[in-house]
Amino acid sequence: MSKRKLLKGGSVNSVTLEPEVAITVIGLLSAASDSEGISSIEEYALSEFLGRVGLFENYSEEDFEELTEKAVSLIEEEEPEDLIAQSIESLPNRGYREAAYITAILVVGIDEEVPESEQDYISELQEALNISDERAQELIDGVFGEQEEEEE
């Protein structure tokens, strides 16, 4: 997805998504950004991360399944670029935007392979979410530094 596509307003309907749905949509579309679909590892990483986010702390397994079904339904109905733009616009503040960014970098980086196309996607998403390079690096270090500690 090019920057123009991530940021285009085009045919995005003006319906605001619930922030939980918006973050899940961004996570799922980020997992699919490698054109290989969503792997079971990426799906697991997404659900594990979301379970740690305060916004989702009271979600049951059934709630996560319902949330995922809603997000997948939207993905099947809308163009990915339009849906990402709509999702970004639905995030009410910096905390939600950062949670969406962390979700994206986690699912993209979980397989430890981040080809140039995925790097470009993450850079475009960072810009679209209005996250500075410095803050993005802090978030990346926080996510992947934490994972390295868990592996040791």
Looking at residue 3, its pLDDT comes to 39
Looking at residue 37, its pLDDT comes to 65
Give pLDDT tens digits along the chain (152 positions). Answer: 443 345 444 444 556 789 999 999 998 888 777 666 666 677 777 777 777 777 787 888 888 888 888 888 898 898 888 999 999 999 999 999 999 999 898 888 776 777 788 888 899 999 999 999 999 999 988 877 755 555 54
Q: How far apart are CA 75 and CA 19, in angstroms?
A: 15
Amino acid at the residue 15: V
Nearest alpha carbon to residue 5 among 93, 121, 131: 121
* Residue 57: C-alpha distances to residues 122, 123, 152 (Å): 26, 28, 26
Looking at residue 1, its pLDDT comes to 45
Cβ distance 82 to 10 under 8 Å?
yes
Task: Give me 26's structure tokens.
Answer: 């961004």
Q: How far apart are CA 81 and CA 8, in angstroms?
A: 8
C-alpha dihedral over 35, 46, 127, 90, to 10 degrees?
A: 110
CA-only gyration radius of the chain, Å = 14
Q: Is the dihedral of CA 37, 48, 136, 83 positive or negative?
A: positive
Coil, helix or strand for 138?
helix
